[in-house]
A and B are shown apart, each in its own frame.
Chain A
Amino acid sequence: MPHPETWLRVTPAGLWCEPGDFFVDPTRAVARAVITHAHADHARPGHEAVLATAETLALMRARLGEGRAGRRQQPLRPGEVVVQNGVRLWLRPAGHVLGSAQVCLEWRGSRVVVSGDYKRAPDPTCAPFEAERCDVFVTEATFGLPVFRHPEPEREIARLLASVALFPERTHLVGCYALGKCQRLIALLRRAGWQAPIWLHETLLAACRTYEALGVPLGDLRPVTAARRAALRGAIVLAPPGAAAERWAERLSDPVIALASGWMRVRHHARARGVELPLVVSDHADWDELNATIDETGAPEVWIMHGRDDALAHALGRRGIRGRALHRVGRGAGEADAAPGPAEDAAA
């Protein structure tokens, strides 16, 4: 059985399956791409052929425009298998955002699972993660430090609503990533009983409409630019992180600046962002989830991308699992995804 290193290579364009001749989440335009999910750092424009879940393809079209989201789009249902030059390929839900999937690859009995981004906490807007046993698990590690343990999202939503009750005159402006986090927050708010209109920064509207079209109801959403000042008193407004500094925010009534991100767990991040209400809500696996997931896959070897590898590799080593930074795998000095910083919210 060939070691995965011999047929799945790290190249400057991303992970390349040599016998199948396709890339997973390539960083530049390629002939054949398999895309885990629609976030910008995974789904780039201009590929020739794109294989992904139907939801990811729809979200890519909405974000990139019809022409740029792959000349040929091939939807694949989770669990359905395609064979490309002898490589078996199928998708498993990753629980990260709507449509997000792990890419499972098998060649000559050797199996790799590329997780993309994932989380294990339940999310009303997407299918839950399903673990698949494999020989190499390629994991993200955005929150690959033991200090990152996300609390229950319901608890963070309760904190937000308690704050709205305590400061009924103030607008609560919640910074969040446009695709995934935004819709998850809305769905969680609805579940917690918040049926009032939720006001959105215009850059968040498109993804919400696509979610609704794909069967995720989000309730009464309105563009914040259409709101009268009075309507924003005691209201919840969602906007991209940092948008509070923009001119449109002047209309908000003495806003409580909140930010929903896993980075909010650490005080210096929250302080640096000038946040009054940090909400620890993340679409990425936390430390415990990373470790438990790796154990579930049974993989004796783990390639770590998208975050910090040192702590996770150390912890895996202590359990007899070989953890390697993705950029050190194989010959090619590949560019792993840049480690996301809180300035980018890292929700991608």
Chain B
Amino acid sequence: MSLPAFAALLERLAFTPGRDGRIALLGRWFAEQPDPERGLGLAALTGALPFAPARPALLHELAAARLDPVLLALCRDYVGDLAETVALAWPRRAGGDAPPPALSAVAEGLARTPGAELPALVAGWLDALDAEGRLALLGLVAGGLRAGVSGRLARLALAAWSGRPVEAIEEVWHGVAPPYRPLFRWLEGGGERPDPGEAPVFRPLMLAHPLAEGDLAALRPEEWRAEWKWDGLRVQLCAGPGGRRIWRRDGEDISAAFPEIVAAMDFHATLDGELLALRDGGEAAPFADLQRRLNRRTAGPKLRRDCPVGVRLYDLLFDGAQDLRALPFDARRARLEAWIARVRPARMDLSPQIAFASVAQLAALRAGARDPAIEGLMLKRADSPYVAGRVKGLWWKWKRAPRAVDAVLMYAGRGGAGAPGGFGDCTFGLWRPDGRGGEELVPVGKAHPGGTDEERLWLERWIRAHTVARFGPVREVEKALVLEVAFDAVQRSARHKAGVVLRAPRILRVRRDKPAEEADRLEALLALAGDGAAPAGTAAD
């Protein structure tokens, strides 16, 4: 019965927007399903099942063989999506009450069956399933479940369900494969933690806390080390006899997008660094330049030539098989410097340390930084071990003074980080000409409301009282409230109607004093962006 159960999960996920809800649904799946079904379901959701998607023509053939063409056309016209149409309109066959297939049987069948035999196999399964099951099956066959479950969400769900810290799961995740039996056994307390052996595994990154003014006073220069905070993509490089991987901060594997880096990883180590786009002469460029590469799954020779990249190294986690993470920062830094001198990896360099004698000097350095590839300063305690996550008091990030705009609140959605039950997701926009002689608002970003509890409550009430429409959990509000929004940079984005989007926006405060018409205009944002925005030629494609 597992394919129907999986289909029910898929159906629920398709309509559950909130992260907590999705985690709860996945948790129930892990708790209720037997092996190997639960692991295969997990792999199917995250796109990790190993078989090639069927030819798109297969669906047309199946439909044509079993459905009246006139009815099919009417149905398709009504439903839109062909797979959904076929799933819903598939006719019951007399005597077709075979038991529905197990997910494992489907996964195995799709992996092993030659293309010519696939239509009969799939038709047989369709006969044994209900509409929900047929839709799930056709999604599996086409290789596109579109369930919106990232690897990160899956690991958070495993953590929530098992009670283990997500970092511990991150460390083994890349060393296990579907159906993940040893992983589940360990998470249920029935076995050792899986040993990834030589396989490259992701080590959760150490993150920095934003520095507040108060923290600065307590900072003793001799106990701290400073580096620039580079405006690229934080990555972890892991290479050894078992393979080479580049991971994003959330544990997603982005190796395929940066083949030249992978080629340069001719070593046995795990490193922490910043992936940076390079301009002529090898100078680091700001994040916006990297955007072109990040939008692609793979990188051909032309893109690699037009948009070269490198990695600036921050830390050494493993030297060979030796885990250095418990060592103090100073010791790891010495090992990193020695390692670079010895290995001399191509396309990589060392993030330089910045000498300073006083907090005032540090502040002056931060204020004086002009390089657009610098986001601010990183402060690391000299004796800090490398620990997963954001542990307070070990690493600080001290970003450059933020830029800010006055934007108009457009939509408010429930949920989101830091606002359980409240409107955690506020979308705001700026004015621009609407092409008909008037002005219109275009969204430029979203963030959760900051400020005191009192201010948030005020905003909640305002949103409720000024809702003009609802789209599920999202409300459209009257365009009447101005928010002061700070951000790190402006990024070009073809996916956003404004053509740009704010990077790391934060709502600083509600400007009750300001009428909405006086909020900033999109041009102001583009001007403010200055060198921070990508030149037009490198717009995301």
Chain A residues in the interface with B (C-beta under 8 A) = 145-149, 151, 159, 163, 166-167, 244-245, 250, 254, 257, 265-268, 270-271, 274-278, 288, 310-311, 314-315, 318
CB-defined contacts of B472 to chain A, threshold 8 Å: 257, 274-276
Number of residue pairs across A and B with beta carbons under 8 Å? 77
**Residue pair A314, B70 in contact (C-beta under 8 Å):** yes
Q: Enumerate chain A residues within 8 angstroms of B91, measured Cβ to Cβ.
A: 146
Task: List 8 additional contacts besides A151-B131, A245-B470, A274-B471; criterion CB under 8 Å.
Answer: A145-B89, A147-B88, A267-B14, A267-B81, A268-B79, A274-B473, A311-B70, A311-B75
- Assess whether B470 is in contact with A145, with CB atoms less than 8 Å apart: no
In the complex, whether B280 has a CB less than 8 A from a CB of chain A is no
Residues 480-525 (chain B) with a chain A CB within 8 angstroms: none
B residues near A257, Cβ cutoff 8 Å: 472
A-B interface, 7 closest residue pairs, ranked by CB to CB distance from nearest: A274-B472, A147-B88, A146-B89, A245-B470, A311-B74, A147-B75, A147-B89
Nearest-neighbour CB distance to chain B for A174, whole angstroms, equals 14
Q: Mark B17-36, 1 if CB is under 8 A from A, else 0.
A: 10001001100100000000
- Which residues on B sit within 8 Å (CB–CB) of A311? 70-71, 74-75
- Name B471's closest neighbour in chain A (CB-CB): A274
Closest to B414 in A: A254
* B16 adjacent to A268 (CB under 8 Å): no
Instruction: Tell me which of B28, B78, B421 contacts A145 (CB under 8 A).
Output: B78
Interface residues of B in 57-71 (CB under 8 A from A): 67-68, 70-71
Indicate if B8 sits at the interface (CB-CB under 8 A).
yes
Interface size class of B (residues with CB under 8 A): 35 or more
Q: Which residues of B contact A274 (CB under 8 A)?
A: 470-473
Chain A nearest CB from B494 CB (Å) reads 24
6 contacts between A and B (CB under 8 A): A145-B75, A145-B78, A146-B91, A250-B464, A254-B421, A311-B70
* Closest-CB distance, A159 to chain B (whole angstroms): 7
B213 to chain A, nearest CB (A): 36
A288 CA / B464 CA spacing, docked (Å)? 45
Determine if A315 and B68 form an interchain contact, defined as CB atoms under 8 angstroms apart: yes
A276 touches B16 (CB 8 A): yes
Chain B, residue nearest A163 (CB): B12
C-alpha spacing A310/B14, complex, angstroms: 31
What is the bound-complex CA distance between A190 and B131, given in angstroms? 26
Candidates B15, B67, B75, B414; contact of A275 at CB < 8 Å: B15
With a CB–CB cut-off of 8 A, which chain A residues contact B164?
none
A277 touches B15 (CB 8 A): yes
| Min C-beta distance of A254 to chain B, whole Å | 6
Instruction: Known contacts A254-B421, A266-B78; decide if A288 and B92 are in contact (CB<8 Å).
Output: yes
| Across-interface contacts of A276 in B (CB, < 8 A) | 15-17, 21, 472
The distance in angstroms between the C-alpha atoms of A267 and B15, with both chains bound, is 9
How far is B84's CA from A274's CA once the two chains are assembled, in angstroms?
19
- CB-CB nearest in chain A for B11: A278
Instruction: Write out the residue numbers on chain B whose beta carbons fall within 8 Å of the beta carbon of A146.
Output: 67, 71, 75, 88-89, 91
Q: Is the CB of B78 within 8 A of A147?
A: yes
Nearest CB in chain A: distance from B150 CB, A: 20
User: With contacts A151-B130, A274-B470 known, is A267 near B74, CB below 8 A?
Assistant: no
Most buried by B among A149, A244, A275, A278: A149
Closest to B472 in A: A274
Task: Assess the A145–B74 pair: CB atoms within 8 A.
Answer: yes
Q: How far is the CA of A232 from the CA of B88 in the complex (A)?
A: 35
- Let me know if A167 and B21 touch, CB within 8 A: yes
Q: Which of chain A's residues have a CB closer than 8 A to the CB of B89?
A: 145-147
Chain B residue contacts of A315, Cβ below 8 A = 68, 71
Complex: A1 Cα to B92 Cα, angstroms: 39
- Is B85 in contact with chain A by the CB < 8 A criterion? yes
In the docked arrangement, what's the CA distance between A292 and B21, Å?
Answer: 41
Does B197 count as interface, using CB distance less than 8 angstroms?
no
- Could you tell me which residues of chain B, from 146 to 170, have a CB within 8 Å of some CB in chain A? none
Is B281 an interface residue when CB atoms closer than 8 A count as contact?
no
Q: List which B69-99 residues lie within 8 A (CB) of chain A.
A: 70-71, 74-75, 78-81, 84-85, 88-89, 91-92
**Chain A: which residue is nearest B77 at the CB level?**
A145
Within 8 A of A (CB), among B221-237: none
Write out the residue numbers on chain A whose beta carbons fall within 8 Å of the beta carbon of B67. 146
Question: Are B88 and A278 within 8 A (Cβ)?
Answer: no
Which residues of chain B are near A148, meaning CB under 8 Å?
Answer: 88
Instruction: Report the Cα distance A134→B421, complex, angstroms.
Output: 58
A159 vs B130: C-alpha distance when bound (angstroms):
15
CB-contact partner of A149 in B12, B21, B84, B88, under 8 A: B88
Contact B75 A278 (CB under 8 A): no
